[in-house]
Every structure is written in C-alpha cells, then in structure tokens.
Structure 1
Amino acid sequence: MQVDEAIRARRAIKWYDPEHQMPEETFLKLMEHAILAPTAFNIQNWRFVRVTDPEQRKAIRAVAWDQAQVTDASELLVLCFDNKCWQRDPQRYWRKAPQEVQDFLVPAIDDYYRDKPQIERDEGMRSCGLAGQTIMLMALELGYQSCPMDGFDYDEVAKIINLPEDHSIAFMIAIGKGTKDSWPKPGQLPLDEVMINNRFD
C-alpha cells in the first residue's frame, strides 16, 4: 500500500472480530516501525503499554464508556510518555553520533527540559501523536484497522496499568480486524480554511 493510499484509507474503526489474534511477528513488525517515529532530541519518550490480559481489558472498557473495541480488538495499546526520560542517561540517545554532535546536543537536552514541566508534557504529547499515526498507517499496511481513543477516564486507566508517577497517558489505540466499515467522512473542512499563508489576518 502506498503512503497516500494509507492516509486516505485510514479511518477510526469501532467494530472488530474478537476471535482474531494478530500473529506475534506481525505485532513486532508493527512496533518496530512505531519506534522509528521522531522525537525531540531523539529522547524516545514514548512508552507503549500492550494490554493483553482479558480482565485488564474489561476493567479498561468499564472506564472507557463501554466501548467494545477495548475488548474486541486484537491489540490494545496505551500510549504513554516518560516525562523524565530526558535525564535518564541522555548520552545513550546520541551514542552513535559524531563526538562533536554529542558534545553539543547532550548538554542541550538538560537546558531544554530542566524545570520545565509544561515542555516535558508538550513534547510527550507530540511524540505520542507522531508514533500513533505511524502505528495506524503501518497497521493498514499489515492488513489491520485501528481506532485512536481518548474517550476514557485517564486516572482510572493509569491505576489499571500501574502508571509510574513521572509518566503520563496520551491516548490509546485499538488495532484489529475490522468487521464493519466506518461511516463516510462526516465533513472535511476545505484546505483554504485551515491553511494560513505566512500569518493570521
């Protein structure tokens, strides 16, 4: 599938075959592509919680408006981010770079994030957004549908997955074999309404 085809074909699918199991090699291929998504300073701050336990899935569904895709999809990923990964041995993020690049960028990571919790959170949300789109497009390439989700109680899901205090949840993605097509696109705004040249009036 061409990239432009995947972008046009990707839809949020709500209905999945609960009997279908994604082969493990397919899932690993999906996630190997997910971690190629870009992050600021290459800090790779996303964390992917793969929820496979049926009881855990049921508990999440109960705090996610009883949305069936939580339990019926082959895979459920909670996309989280580590707010403090920038200070966890940051040299490793640039270990293969030339020494002069390491000498410049590794100290810059500390300067950029230290004592700036809003930047930590903003970067985490951006990183998970980029990874999430990568996952959804790659899922289509592999013959699967997906559904990005933010309709759930974040605090309750955090308890269910035992989220560390210095981590945050961005959103979830259900992935599986869809059983129904999505409804037609409900109304795409024209490009000239959402693209601004140079500056707002």
Structure 2
Amino acid sequence: MELHQAIAQRRTVKQFDPHHRLSAEEFETLINQAMLAPTSFNLQHWRFVRIEDSTLRADMCTAAWGQVQVEQASELLVITADIKAWEKSPARYWQNVDAETRSMVVDMLTEFYRGRESLQRDEAIRSAAFAAQNLMLSARAMGYDSCPMIGFDADAVGQLIKLPADHLIVMLLAIGKPAAQPQARGGQLALHEVLLSNRFPDPIHKTTKDKTTRCTRPQRTSI
C-alpha cells in the first residue's frame, strides 16, 4: 500500500477481532518503523510498553473505563516518553558520527535543554507522538487498524506499568484486525480555515457605539 493510501485509509477503530494475533515479524516491523520517526537531537524519547499479560490487559481495561478495544486488540501499547532523555548519556544518540561532531552536538543539546523543564516535556511528547503516528500508518499499510486513546486514568496506568518518575504517558495505542467498519468521518475543516499565508490575520476589534435615544417633546401647534 502506498503512503498516500495509508494516510487516507487510516481510521480510529473501536472494535477488533479478539482472536487475531500479529506475527512476531509484523510486530517487529511496526516497532522498527516507529523508531524511524523524527526526534529533536535524535534523543528518541519514546518507550513502548507492550501489554501482553491477559490479567494486566484486564486491569488496563478497567483503568481505561471499560473500553473494549483495550482487551480485544491484537496489540496494546502504552506510548511513553522519557522527559530526561537529553541528560542520559547523550553521546550514545550520536554513536555513528565522528567524535568531533558527537561532542559538538552533545554540548548543543545539553545547553538547549538544561533548566527548561517545559521544553523537555514538550519535546518528549512531540517525539513520542511522531512515533505513534508512524505506528498507525505502518499498521494501516499492513492491513491493520488502530485506536489511539487518551481516555484513561493516567495515574492508574502508570502504576500498572511501573512508570518511572521521569517518564510520562502520551497515549494508549490499540492495533489489530478490525471487527467492524468505522463510522463516517466527522468532517474536515475547510482548507482556508487551516491553511494561512505567511501570518495570521490581524484581529478584528469590534467596537460598539454608545447609542442614546433622545426623547423630544413634540412641538405644540398654535391654532
């Protein structure tokens, strides 16, 4: 399947065939494709927690407020991100370049992220989201569907997977063979509403004029 087809056909599916399983080769392909996602300074913040234990799946379903796809899907991944990836032996992210380049990049990223907690968090989420999109498109190209989820108790899921303190959960992602056709798309916004040329337009300031009604006495006519 071509990329454009995978993008056009990707849909969020809520019902999966509970008996279908991805092969080991298919699953490995998905993860390898996810790992090719763009990531700032090649930090690769993403960490994928594969939920294989059936009891844990049931607990995850409870934490996800009973959403059936959590248990039915062939694969359930918790997409997490390492907020502190930038300071964890960053030279290893650049092992394939020469020593001079590696040292320069490590100095740059350290200076860029140090003391900027909001940026560290935002960048981790961005990287993991890019990887999740790769997963969803790769799954569609292989004939599977997916369901990204944010509807769950993040604290409960974090406890179930023993989430480290310096990591965060970006989403749950169910992948598998669809058991039902998805609903029609809700509707895309018009192109002119989402595509702007060069900059946003100036805000329109609405002014209200103070309109006062003057009551005047009718002139008396002399007879």
TM-score, with length taken from structure 1: 0.97
Amino acid at match of 1:155: D
Please, which runs of 5 or more residues in structure 2 have no aligned partner?
A: 202-223
- Structure with the higher fraction of residues in helix conformation: 1
CA displacement 1:5-54 (0-9 Å, x = unmatched): 00000000000011111111110111111111111000111000000111
Aligned-pair Cα RMSD in Å: 0.9
**Following TM superposition, where does structure 1 have runs of at least 4 consecutive aligned residues deviating by more than 3 angstroms?**
none
Matching of residues 44-59 of structure 1 within 5 Å:
44-59=44-59
Please, which runs of 5 or more residues in structure 1 have no aligned partner?
A: none
Matching of residues 51-130 of structure 1 within 5 Å:
51-130=51-130
Distance in 2 of aligned mates of 1:96 and 1:23? 31
Q: Which moved more, 1:123-132 or 1:96-105?
A: 96-105
Amino acid at match of 2:75: E
Distance in 1 of aligned mates of 2:185 and 2:134? 21
- In the alignment, structure 1 residue 140 sits paired with structure 2 residue 148: no
Q: Which residue of 1 aligns with 2:167?
A: 167
State the secondary structure of the residue aligned to 1:165.
Answer: coil
Distance in 2 of aligned mates of 1:9 and 1:141? 9
Deviation at 1:98, TM superposition (A): 3.1
The number of aligned residues is 201
Q: Which residue of 2 aligns with 1:16?
A: 16
State the secondary structure of the residue aligned to 1:78.
Answer: strand
- In the alignment, structure 1 residue 31 sits paired with structure 2 residue 46: no
- In the alignment, structure 1 residue 195 sits paired with structure 2 residue 165: no
Distance in 2 of aligned mates of 1:3 and 1:43? 26
Deviation at 1:106, TM superposition (A): 0.8
CA displacement 1:45-103 (0-9 Å, x = unmatched): 10000001111111111121211000000000000011111111111111112333223
Distance in 2 of aligned mates of 1:26 and 1:7? 19
Q: Percent identity?
A: 44
Amino acid at match of 2:188: Q
Distance in 2 of aligned mates of 1:89 and 1:153? 32
- Select the structure of larger CA radius of gyration: 2
